[in-house]
Amino acid sequence: MSVVTIRPANEQDAADLADLAERTFRDTFATENNPADMALHCAEHFGVAIQRQEILAPNHVILLAEVDTQLAAFAQVRLHAPKAGIAAPQPAELQRLYVEKAWHGRGVAHKLMLQVLATAMQTGTETIWLGVWEHNPRAIAFYRKYGFQVVGEHVFQFGNDPQRDLVMAATLND
């Protein structure tokens, strides 16, 4: 039986996180998108220096999920992330949650999400929100299981392609 461990990322994880973040992003979106937009997006958002900076940023919490010590998933939360249309003071944003394909539907995302919600709650925030591509039905179904509801939409600039993201939000309860 596999053991899933969730822990905060540290500076030494930057290279592994950069690799995982880019690989899972490409796995998720490459087939439905233009390779040039993908290349632009990845160059701008993934790389050891970029992920190191995000790990060290005081307003970010990055959680890693390891299955039997192998990195399998990560979640990235931005604290104090105001959003138009969300009235709660100091909401948190779930910026990224990506699981290696081999671990989809096997409880890793569930464990990670529980820790995301607990972490957000510990910061005193009442609401957590996220943007999800309108053409990502599995993620939308997943978020609904944790009480996220669609509250709006925004443009996600993917390379040169302005895409429609649904904005979903959940209220955190004690």
Which residues are near ligand COA by CB under 6 A? 24, 28, 97-99, 104-105, 109-110, 132, 136-139, 141-142
CB of 107 closer than 8 Å to CB of 140: no
Longest Cα separation, the chain: 45
Nearest distance, CB of residue 137 and ligand COA, angstroms: 4
- Judged by CB, which is closer to ligand COA: 1, or 141? 141
Report the nearest approach of ligand COA to the CB of residue 93 (Å). 11
Residues making up the chain, counted from first to last: 174
Position with the least CB separation from ligand COA = 109
Give the residue with the Cβ less far from ligand COA, 87 or 141: 141
Question: Closer CB to ligand COA, residue 65 or residue 172?
Answer: 65
Shortest reach from residue 132's CB to ligand COA, in Å: 4
d(CA 94, CA 102): 22
Q: What are phi and psi of 111, to 5 degrees?
A: -60, -40
The torsion angles phi and psi of 77, rounded to 5 degrees, stand at -120, 135
